[in-house]
Amino acid sequence: MSYRFKSVMLAGLLLGPVTLNAQNPDINYDESKVQPFAFLDPLITYSAKRVKTVQRWENERRPELLKKFASEVYGTTPSRRLATRYELRSVDSSALGGTAIRKQISVIWTEYPDLPSLDILLYVPKNKSGTGKPPVFVGLNYMGNHSISPEPGIALSTRWLPNRPDGKVVNNRATEAARGVQQSRWPLELIIAKGYSVATAYYGDLEPDHPEGWKSGIRSVLDPPTNQKSDGWQAIGVWAWGMSRMLDYLETDNLVDAKRAVVMGHSRQGKAALWAGAQDPRFAIVIANESGEGGAALSKRNFGETIERLNRSFPHWFCPKYRTYNNRPDALPVDQHQLLALIAPRPLYVASAEGDRWADPKGEFISARLTDPVYQLYGKKGIGTDTWPAIHSPVGETVRYHIRAGEHDVKRYDWEQFIDFADKQFRKAQ
């Protein structure tokens, strides 16, 4: 980190004259009220040594940061592997108007027949545009596999789902009318036309998203939260783990190139995608869309959602220790740019939306920018500029960032950028 950059950060981007009540902080949306905060250098170890080589980063600093994110933020991922069996439920070789193969595969947890399976929906392009097997986007969806496309061959999820005011999910169960309700977030035609596969699954297959959800999810058998360990595994960690299990399956499927797997998540799934990418180096590219607090956004920058709000609204997402930082993010021994840095040297995309101030778009940008010194260790250029870009003007090379007009959502524009980024990165790697 150059001195110039540090001083620009501290003087220009972060300083503000107003003091907030530390006991009762309000949500701040005023850039002039952003308080100065400590910058945690990703390249200085907890024993105050400066990391100057890739070797030291990989052998010492990266592992100690990973451990800290587990003990302070996301909880420790259980190391026990669950035995699995893959059951092919359906194959349609003329899906999406004949352009794609659609498969549905259930991951069965063989030791626990009562545990819900993880139901993967996979689309593979029939028209291979590049050489070899197509790369694959991997991501969890919010409303069931049936929500990403109206194709009637997709099994309607029978799992617990949050009710919808439009009546398409009633008594926490999907109705036929729920088909395709989130198709705008998954522009399959575009993705397939560009030569990419997509693998998705409903995140509630792993753990329904409410405080009691663990009882019918993976945690009930792998690590029940009953004794409240301070680094106990929680829902974000479970979803991250689930994306790695999807990748385990994809490694066995000859239709896709699992070495070119792109983990992508939006919002809470953006948080999970980052944690998955940090822990599982098999993900070749990591994309976090509007992941905000506990995702890409700096925790110590008081803008938008706070740790306290996050833990209050979603007590089942983060480990108990994280709650001790409610209202005192300054005491956290990590900040989220260090999570992003754990992705290096792999390509990383951080995306924000102008109308999504809750997620602190500028805090997401600064965080991405602060990974640059780690990418530089590998001879790679990350974001490469201190200037927060204008709307629809992506910046950066191996770490890329954009801010889109509009609200908190995943839009076609976002996918266009992600695909373009993946194209460039995979071309470079050839």
User: Is residue 227 at the binding interface for ligand GTR, with CB under 6 A as the rule?
Assistant: no
Q: Which is nearer to ligand GTR, 151 or 308 (CB)?
A: 308
- Check residue 300 and report its DSSP letter: S
Closer CB to ligand GTR, 222 or 276, in the complex = 276
What stretches of 48-182 show up as alpha helix (H) in DSSP?
54-56, 62-69, 95-98
Give the shortest CB-358-to-ligand GTR separation in angstroms.
6
Please report how close the Cβ of residue 273 comes to ligand GTR at its closest, in angstroms: 12
210, 216, 220, 408: which one is catalytic? Answer: 408
Is the CB of residue 97 less than 8 Å from the CB of residue 151? no
Strand partners, 350: 288, 401
Q: Which is nearer to ligand GTR, 312 or 428 (CB)?
A: 312
The residue within the footprint of ligand GTR, chosen from 305, 335, 360, 414 (CB under 6 A), is 305
CB of 366 to ligand GTR, least distance (A): 18
How many residues belong to the site for ligand GTR (CB under 6 A)? 7
Pairing assessment for the beta strands 100-109 and 118-125 based on DSSP bridges: antiparallel
**408 is annotated as an active-site residue:** yes
Active-site entry in 267, 291, 352, 367: 267
Radius of gyration of the chain (CA): 21
Query: How is residue 6 annotated by DSSP?
Result: H
Beta carbon of residue 390, minimum distance to ligand GTR (angstroms, whole number): 25
Give whichever of 268 and 400 is closer to ligand GTR, judged by the CB atom: 268
- Beta sheet of 118-125, edge-to-edge order: 84-94, 100-109, 118-125, 197-202, 136-141, 261-266, 285-289, 348-353, 399-404
- Shortest distance (Å) from residue 429 CB to ligand GTR: 31
- The yes or no reply on residue 293 touching ligand GTR (CB under 6 A) is yes
Q: Is the dihedral of CA 284, 290, 294, 298 positive or negative?
A: positive
* Residue whose CB is less far from ligand GTR, 72 or 305: 305
In the list 267, 302, 306, 371, the residue contacting ligand GTR (rule: CB under 6 A) is: 267
Which of 51/276 has CB closer to ligand GTR?
276
308 binds ligand GTR (CB under 6 A): no
Site for ligand GTR in 168-207 (CB under 6 A): none
Question: How far apart are the C-alpha atoms of 322 and 72, rounded to whole Å?
Answer: 5
Near ligand GTR by CB under 6 A: residue from 102, 179, 219, 268: 268
Stretch 26-85 residues interacting with ligand GTR (CB under 6 A): none
Residue 425 Cβ vs ligand GTR, minimum distance, rounded to whole Å: 26
**Smallest distance, ligand GTR to C-beta of residue 78, A:** 23
Helix axes 268-279 and 62-69, enclosed angle (nearest 10)? 140
Closest C-alpha to 140, from 269, 235, 244, 236: 269
What residues from 311 to 330 belong to the interface with ligand GTR (CB under 6 A)? Answer: 313
Nearest partner of 205 among 145, 122, 117, 121, judged by Cα: 117
Residue identified by tokens 């009762």 is 24
Per DSSP, helices labelled H in 12-103 are 54-56, 62-69, 95-98
**Residue 392 designated active-site:** no
x-marked contacts with ligand GTR along 130-169 as a string, rule CB under 6 A: ----------------------------------------
Q: How far is the CB of 269 from ligand GTR (least distance, A)?
A: 7
Using CB under 6 A, which residues numbered 344 to 363 contact ligand GTR?
none
Instruction: Give whichever of 95 and 138 is closer to ligand GTR, judged by the CB atom.
Output: 138
Q: Based on the shown chain and the rule CB under 6 A, indicate whether residue 292 belongs to the binding site for ligand GTR.
A: yes
- How many Cβ atoms sit within 10 Å of the Cβ of residue 397? 16
Q: Which among 17-25, 35-43, 235-243, 305-313 is the span making contact with ligand GTR, rule CB under 6 A?
A: 305-313
Bridge partners of 95, per DSSP, are 100
DSSP string, 117-133: PEEEEEEEESS--SSSS
Residues 6+ apart with CB under 8 A from 383: 365, 368, 369, 371, 372, 395, 396, 399, 400, 401
Q: Which DSSP letter does residue 247 get?
A: H
Amino acid residing at 270:
G
Catalytic residues, which ones?
Answer: 267, 408
Contact positions vs ligand GTR (CB under 6 A): 267-268, 292-293, 305, 310, 313
